[in-house]
Chain A
Amino acid sequence: MDARANPEGPLPPLWHYGETEHDPISTKTLGFWLYMLSDALIFAGLFAAYAVLDQNMNMADGPTAAQVVHPVAAFWQTLAVLSSVLAYSLATVALKTGNRARVLLGIVVAIVFGGLFIALEIGDFVSLFAMGATPDRSGFLSAFFVLVASHGLHMMFGILWMLVLIPQIIRSGFNTAVVTRLLNLRLFWQFQASVWVCVYVFVYLKGTMP
């Protein structure tokens, strides 16, 4: 009924009693989704910069994309990052039953595969530096290194986050704060894997095309 229709009528309740506390986990998760959106925009900017600078004139007579990308080697990185996400997802499956040991095991495996990814990437960078392909060589290489390293930096932060969570799980179990962080980290980790898939397609696979 339209309340405006009858100003003389009996008043509906003016104050709300009872539970108005909003679910802290869903509030924080919403906030984290929004943060991920801003992170996505950062990557959108970096991908745009890469697309602009991935032109012949931006190579400055230096190495071309085909000379610096190794899709097969990077495929091992792809497997590492996807395995890490799988392990972490299994950890969150174990979270549903509250199995602390399995959650910890999943996180440790995720850290190992994430670390493997970082190690492979650093190895790749070292070999590129050795052949003279450095970020200050050309506009194209600047975009290549900054895009790939920005993703790598995100991966390192994810690993740091997992390392921080392990003692928190051991210390306080699955309380609201820890569960929120575990769920948001899953979001973060899967997002970084998706970004890597984009990097792999737009940088590594596309780079080999003539």
Chain B
Amino acid sequence: MLVHLQGPWSPLFGRLTLASIPYSNPIIIFAFVFTVIAGLAAVIPVLYFRKVGYIFREWICSVDHKKIGVMYIILGLVMMFRGFVDGMMIRTQQVTADGPTSPHFLEAQHGYLPPSHFDQIYSSHGTLMILFAATPILTGLGNIIVPLQIGARDMAFPRMNAISLWLTVMGAMLVMASLFIGDFSDAGWVGLTPLTELPYSPSVGVDYWMWAIQISSIGTTLNAINIITTIIGMRAPGMRWDRLPIFTWTTLSTSVIGLTAFPVLGVALALLGADRYLGTHFYTAGMGGNLMLYTDLFWIWGHPEVYFLVLPAFGVLSEVIPTFSEKPLFGYITMVAATFAIAGISWSVWLHHFFTMGAGPMVNTFFSVATMIVGIPTGVKVFNWIFTMYRGRITYTTPMLWAVAAILLLLVGGITGVMLANPAINYTVHNSVFVIAHFHCMVLLIVFAAFAAVIYWWPKVFGFMLDEANGKRFFWTFCLATSTVFTAMFMLGFEGETRRLDYLYDPHWMPMLIVEEVGIALYCLAVFYFFKMLYVSIRDRDKNVCGPDPWGTARTLEWLTHTPVPFYNFAVTPQVHELDELTWRRERNCETVMPDHYEPVHMPNNSMVPIIIGILAFGFGFGMVWRIWWMAGGGLAGIIAVIIITSFFPDRGYTITPEQMRELEAEHLRRRVAVSTASVIPLAEQRLV
């Protein structure tokens, strides 16, 4: 049954040999040194300040949804940085490898990356950006914000929440391991069959890609279960369905997508795994395999995944825009309906990713029309945001700038998307960089919304504002970079440049390639300002402390509790009266009224189980990649054993007594008073000037 592999294999190390470590490649050596330095920069302060125990007990073992969310977002930002470096390398390769007379460096014939290395880089760029950057950032946001918005103390299953996080982290760790041990898939982030089959990709690259996605997507599915259960079952009294904030609605719809789409991805990859490990013939080129089966299964997940990402981004815009327009959101009900319309249609459009694969005119027409229909609810959303801003008192804080720019990007990406939904146009530009520019507009809209969200909710989580001046520099450079790179890319697409080229044969593309490279330089500047924003804000954190509602005009429940949010979220569960509860209370001058007595609060204990399961899952993945059977089997058996053993010792949690709560609250109330007298944050009225 097991596929017989060529090359060395030992029971102890599987396929892993010293030769698997690419120490002769200077680019990888540089990446390794950089990763080690960055890792040390993170670890040394922890050791120096003797915080290992604190980090382990209070973060690694935490079941607090806010800390888990923060860790999700940190993972996403780090992976986004690596994905950005990949993108930078792709662009630099293309600008140096244009035309037969282009220069060559290192081992490459053109440019500085040999084809297989270039292929790995674009594959990891896509995999990282979609699955390990955008997905964790949005999942993390949902984790932090949703329980606060609905007035819950935690997620429905706090420990499972931590398990989701660590499975996602371990998936990302597998991708990182592939950089230095072995190689990564060179078959694109979508895993083009039959290229991913063993005869054509005999190395471990595809296995890394497959198991990294498989492990992290189990985490995403579990998280979706958690979020849906939380929203259905844990809402505060009075939080009726028609009072649910839009971000919570969008996170609910996105979790429904995640719950139903990720298992299909699991099947698609598991069948590929059966082909690669057991020698079956699901997607092989002969013996009765059908490669279109993979393409369909993958995109049945792949297209809902796009909306899985974009819907919470829409939710962020629906929170940020009313706050900084000082108006309720226009068309709440239509916004909810549009959200679920998009989520529903997302299941019937997958074939538009491969119109050219010959499904026939009737099938193509169906999917073409279905795809264009997505434009209607999306248009409803755009108009709702614009009508929200119309005659509002708009303040262009950094989150608002990101949100407005996101609408513009949505327009560009959406309209080119409707163009691509037409099979006749699609045949012309299929696989050209026009498509790449289109979907980068869409995913960058998600990134824009994610930055809006991070800056918007940062003070709520950490208790101080991010620096506005550097935030705006970051925004403008990032915006300029985006328009520079992708305007040029749209044009190159019309000029016929196809995607994934390590060597470009037409020298006439050179001017636009140089423009793209200039845009990449601007992105580097934006990254600099991002770090400067973080540095300046953290340095001046004592000057920028803030109260419960730092923006002064926020509308929803999460801004009611203390800042930074205590681990129990709300000392007493709030009673909800209105869609925009905080605005309701502000209008009645009772937004600072705190409960006068307390009741016992039951909280879950921190646990080592999630990180242990995570490490075992990494062992399982790494063992499967290198076919080290004892490690893979041990990892899987270990996970099952841990789950069984912990089921005998259920977590009874602990109780915060009213007396303890009074002390905890007194601390927060003191901080509130101190902040409100010392605050430098201008009120909304002053910001207008």
Contacts and interface: CB of A to CB of B under 8 A. Distances in A.
Interface in B229-270: 229, 232-234, 236-238, 259-264, 266-268
5 contacts: A53-B282, A53-B293, A139-B284, A142-B280, A142-B288
Contact of B156 (A12, A27, A164): A27
A171 B429 CA distance: 66
B229 A49 contact: no
Interface of A: 3-4, 7, 11-18, 20-22, 26-28, 30-31, 34-35, 37-39, 41-42, 44-46, 48-49, 52-53, 57-60, 62, 134-140, 142-143, 145-146, 160, 164, 167-168, 171, 177, 181
Interface stretch (B48-56, B126-134, B185-193, B580-588): B580-588
Contacts of A164: 644, 647
Given A16-B572, A168-B648, 9 more contacts: A7-B587, A27-B234, A31-B157, A31-B226, A38-B221, A42-B264, A136-B278, A145-B280, A164-B647
Contact of A34 (B225, B290, B595): B225
Contacts of B640: 160
B593 interface: yes
Contacts of A13: 575
Closest CB pairs A-B (n = 6):
A139-B288, A45-B267, A142-B280, A60-B288, A58-B288, A136-B279
B679 interface: no
Interface string B289-328: 1100100010010000000000000000000000000000
Given A34-B229, A38-B263, A20 B573 contact: yes
Contact of A3 (B264, B280, B578): B578
Nearest to B262: A38
B266 A139 contact: no
A13 B593 CA distance: 11
Contacts of A49: 267, 271, 282, 293, 297
B290 A52 contact: yes
B589 to A, nearest CB: 9
B267 A135 contact: no
A140 B225 contact: no
A165 to B, nearest CB: 9
A160 B641 CA distance: 11
Contacts of A16: 236-238, 572-575
B250 to A, nearest CB: 18
Nearest to B584: A3
B229 A31 contact: yes
A200 B236 CA distance: 46
Given A21-B602, A136-B278, A45 B259 contact: no
A142 to B, nearest CB: 4
Contacts of B267: 42, 45-46, 49
A31 B225 contact: yes
Interface in B629-686: 640, 644, 647-648, 650
B164 to A, nearest CB: 13
B274 interface: yes
B424 interface: no
Contacts of A45: 263-264, 266-268, 297, 300
Contacts, number: 156
A136 B1 contact: yes
B41 interface: no
Given A27-B229, A142-B274, A48 B584 contact: no
A52 B293 contact: yes
A194 to B, nearest CB: 17
A140 B224 CA distance: 33
B58 interface: no
A139 B647 contact: no
Contacts of B286: 60
Contact of A177 (B262, B281, B650): B650
**Most interface-central of A18, A39, A140, A146 (chain B CB within 10 A):** A146
B280 A136 contact: yes
Q: Chain A contact residues: over half helix, strand or loop, or mixed?
A: helix
A60 B644 CA distance: 43
Contacts of A34: 224-225, 228-229, 259
A12 B237 CA distance: 13
A52 B293 CA distance: 7
Contacts of A160: 640
Contacts of A143: 282
A134 B225 contact: no
B281 A146 contact: no
A72 to B, nearest CB: 27
A146 B280 CA distance: 9
Contacts of B157: 28, 31
Contacts of A3: 577-578, 584
Interface string B591-608: 001010001001000000
Contacts of B297: 45, 48-49
Contacts of B260: 37-38, 41
Contacts of B288: 53, 57-60, 62, 138-140, 142
A16 B225 CA distance: 27
Contacts of B238: 16
Contacts of A52: 290, 293
Contacts of A181: 647
A134 B281 contact: no
Contacts of A37: 259-260
B590 interface: yes
A140 B282 CA distance: 8
A27 to B, nearest CB: 5
Contacts of B573: 15-16, 20
Contacts of B289: 58, 139, 142
A7 B583 CA distance: 11
B578 A4 contact: yes
B18 interface: no
Contact of A22 (B234, B278, B574): B234
B593 A14 contact: yes
A17 B229 contact: no
B287 interface: yes
Nearest to B255: A34
A19 to B, nearest CB: 10
Contacts of B278: 135-136
Contact of B225 (A38, A58, A135): A38
Interface in B513-537: none
Contacts of A35: 225
Nearest to A61: B288
A15 B290 contact: no
A209 B137 CA distance: 51
Nearest to A53: B290
A58 B281 CA distance: 9
Given A22-B233, A45-B263, A139-B284, A58 B572 contact: no
